[in-house]
């Protein structure tokens, strides 16, 4: 795809500054990450509607050199920051310098973003804003040869439509996903299902590359209420994750042992839910956790551990590390939406509680610490968040370590089906309704239902020939 021309002096200045500083760092991994990520990050920033060209003067003016002469200082400054912009006095002590810097650079359009993050991290300490998370994932993966052009993403989320926000972000970086979604995030695709997705991967340099994303989800609304989520055009508070809330209720009522079943046994009318509940029950029994002591946060974290183990087990059966490289990112998707989506003054946020993060390249497993991947600037994050763009600029708050970015309300309402026309809600029958009415007689009205038992009317023949066994479907017992 042809790339839009951009203002090279600003982009090159930024790239050169980072390159000059990283080349002198004592950590070779940082240099490796930058070398791989540089082309994609610069082109991505530059492509976004010519923003670099329009803000060249402002961007140049904001790059103030440190006393050492570098545009971006790598940390010899007494302030202790990994990247010092050089705009403060170097005579200050570390503590004084830290105190002199604002804890957060907040956006006036969305006060309280920092407090919202703090509330979420009480329950999930590793939480990152979804755009911050994805930008770090993309930078880290670039250092190991994974890009959106040479990899396929496989996403395993809950079936809840609220989870599409994260899937949109993944697809903005890696293109269309092969999805293995299940109720509560439970994996039921099996080895064949996973191999089907892997067979769609690009082959570049003789290798396939896969990026696995797996997240159950939970809601913590803007008022801090765990499990509560507002949905478009639905009065009152809804819940997320409904399947995990139901699991928690059943396990508290019936206990763990009653719900531990042999693998392969499930309720035919509730296949995904019964499998999800059984797997969580077995995990709680293994970890000796009493479900009566579990909150929804605890149950969600247990589900994450179960689903991560299931994912890694399926990967071990489906992936040949001699022929393919792969990456795994797990955790919990967190909806921190406005307690009432009709309140346009309260921003909706989306977070990811980071779990496992690693790559396997040439058969060698390397664990990644996403918190050590530098966060983008608010302006860069605004650009990379354009997958959920709406009119106007979304609110962003930034600190030295993390960024919080709003999910635009217009995008959220449209993505979840919150825009209805009058013709859809006035209840009037269409004038052409009578013309399309017809009658239908089902020729297979007696076909077996999914929970009907079956019995063999004859034992299998064992004459070594083409033995056949006929079956008849009994009545539902």
Q: Per residue in 204-244, pLDDT tens?
A: 999 999 999 999 999 999 899 999 988 888 887 888 999 99
What span, in angstroms and rounded, lies between the C-alpha atoms of 267 and 281?
Answer: 15
The reported pLDDT for the residue numbered 267 is 83
On the question of pLDDT at 67 being above 70, the answer is: no
Burial class (CB in 10 A: 0-12, 13-18, 19+), 63: middle
For the whole model, what pTM was predicted?
A: 0.70
Residue 173 placed within a domain: yes
**Are the beta carbons of 59 and 10 closer than 8 angstroms?**
yes
User: What distance in Å separates the CA atoms of residue 429 and residue 381, rounded to the nearest whole number?
Assistant: 47
The CA distance from 113 to 119, in Å, is 10
**Which range marks the domain in which residue 198 is found?**
113-241+300-382+393-416
What's the gap between Cα 7 and its chain centre? Answer: 32
Residue 99 confidence class, pLDDT cut points 50, 70, 90: very low
| Rounded Cα distance, 236 and 162, in Å | 16
Would 293 be classed as within a structural domain? no
Of residues 419 and 382, the one with the higher pLDDT is 382
**How much is the mean pLDDT over the chain?**
75
Beta strand 203-204 pairing with 207-215? antiparallel
β partners of residue 404: 397
**Better-scored residue on pLDDT, 158 or 103:** 158
375's CB contacts (< 8 A; 6+ apart) are 132, 135, 136, 381, 398, 401, 402, 403
End-to-end CA distance of the chain: 60
Count of all residues that appear for the chain in the document: 477
Tally the domains of the chain: 1
pLDDT of residue 411: 79
Question: Locate tokens 């509680």: which residue?
Answer: 353
Q: How confident is the model at residue 394 (pLDDT cuts 50, 70, 90)?
A: low
The answer to whether position 65 is within a domain reads: no
- Decide if 47 is inside a domain: no
- Please name every residue paired with 348 in a beta bridge, in sequence order, or none if there are none: 407
Does the residue 437 lie in any domain? no
pLDDT at residue 60 tops 50 = no
Q: Indicate the pLDDT class of residue 460, thresholds 50, 70 and 90.
A: low
Characterize 282-304 residue by residue with b for buried, 16 or more Cβ atoms within 10 angstroms of its Cβ, and e for exposed. bbbeeeebebeebebbebbbbbb
What pLDDT was estimated at residue 227? 92
Yes or no: say if 212 and 311 are a contact pair by the CB < 8 Å rule: yes
| Mean pLDDT, residues 355-370 taken together | 93
d(CA 291, CA 327): 32
pLDDT at 38: 55
Q: Does residue 17 form part of some domain? A: no
- Are 469 and 288 in contact, with CB atoms under 8 Å apart? no
Query: Is residue 219 one of the residues assigned to a domain?
Result: yes
CA angle in degrees (0–180, nearest 5) for 74-77-81: 60
- Predicted local confidence at residue 401, as pLDDT: 67
If you search the block for the tokens 């052409």, which residue do you land on? 432
Tell me: pLDDT of 191 over 80.
yes
Q: Is residue 90 part of a domain?
A: no
- In degrees and rounded to multiples of 5, residue 357 shows phi and psi of -145, 115
Find, among 346, 386, 323, 468, the residue nearest to 173 by Cα.
Answer: 386
Which uninterrupted H or E stretch holds 172? helix 164-174
- pLDDT (mean) for 416-432: 60
71 pLDDT band (50/70/90 cuts)? very low
CA distance 358 to 125: 19
DSSP 3-state assignment of 452? coil
pLDDT of amino acid 237: 80
Residue 55 pLDDT grade (very low, low, confident, very high; cuts 50, 70, 90): very low
Give 256-283 pLDDT, tens digit per residue.
888 888 888 888 889 999 999 999 999 9
């Amino acid at each position: 795809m042809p790339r839009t021309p951009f203002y090279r002096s600003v982009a090159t200045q930024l790239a050169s500054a980072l390159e000059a500083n990283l080349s002198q760092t004592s950590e070779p991994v940082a240099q490796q990450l930058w070398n791989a990520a540089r082309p994609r990050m610069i082109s991505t920033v530059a492509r976004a509607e010519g923003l670099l060209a329009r803000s060249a003067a402002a961007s140049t003016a904001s790059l103030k050199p440190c006393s050492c002469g570098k545009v971006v200082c790598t940390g010899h400054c007494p302030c202790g920051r990994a990247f010092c912009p050089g705009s403060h006095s170097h005579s200050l002590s570390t503590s004084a310098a830290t105190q002199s810097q604002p804890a957060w650079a907040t956006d006036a359009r969305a006060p309280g973003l920092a407090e919202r993050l703090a509330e979420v991290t009480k329950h999930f300490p590793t939480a990152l804003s979804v755009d911050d998370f994805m930008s770090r994932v993309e930078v880290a993966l670039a250092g190991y040869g994974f890009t959106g052009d040479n990899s396929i993403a496989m996403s395993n989320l809950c079936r809840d439509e609220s989870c599409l926000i994260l899937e949109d972000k993944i697809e903005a970086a890696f293109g269309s996903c092969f999805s293995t979604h299940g109720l509560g995030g439970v994996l039921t695709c099996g080895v064949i299902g996973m191999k089907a997705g892997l067979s769609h991967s690009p082959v570049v340099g003789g290798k396939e590359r896969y990026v696995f994303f797996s997240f159950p989800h939970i809601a913590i609304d803007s008022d801090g209420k765990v499990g509560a989520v507002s949905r478009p055009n639905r009065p009152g508070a809804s819940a997320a994750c409904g399947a995990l809330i139901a699991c928690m209720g059943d396990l508290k009522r019936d206990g763990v042992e009653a719900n531990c079943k042999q693998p392969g046994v499930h309720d035919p009318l509730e296949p995904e839910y019964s499998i999800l509940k059984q797997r969580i029950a077995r995990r709680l029994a293994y970890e000796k956790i009493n479900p009566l002591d579990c909150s929804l946060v605890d149950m969600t974290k247990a589900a994450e551990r179960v689903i991560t183990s299931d994912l890694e087990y399926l990967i071990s059966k489906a992936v040949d590390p001699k022929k393919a490289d792969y990456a795994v990112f797990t955790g919990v998707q967190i909806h921190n939406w406005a307690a009432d989506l009709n309140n346009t003054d309260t921003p909706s946020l989306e977070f990811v509680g980071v779990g496992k993060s690693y790559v396997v390249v040439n058969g060698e497993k390397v664990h990644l610490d996403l918190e050590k991947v530098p966060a983008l600037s608010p302006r860069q994050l605004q650009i990379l968040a354009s997958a959920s763009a709406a009119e106007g600029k979304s609110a962003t708050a930034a600190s030295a370590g993390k960024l919080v970015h709003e999910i635009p309300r217009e995008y959220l309402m449209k993505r979840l089906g919150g825009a209805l026309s009058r013709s859809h809600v006035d209840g009037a029958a269409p004038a052409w309704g009578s013309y399309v009415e017809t009658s239908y007689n089902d020729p297979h009205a007696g076909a077996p239902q999914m929970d009907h038992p079956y019995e063999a009317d004859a034992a299998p023949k064992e004459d070594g020939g083409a033995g056949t066994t006929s079956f008849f479907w009994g009545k539902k017992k």
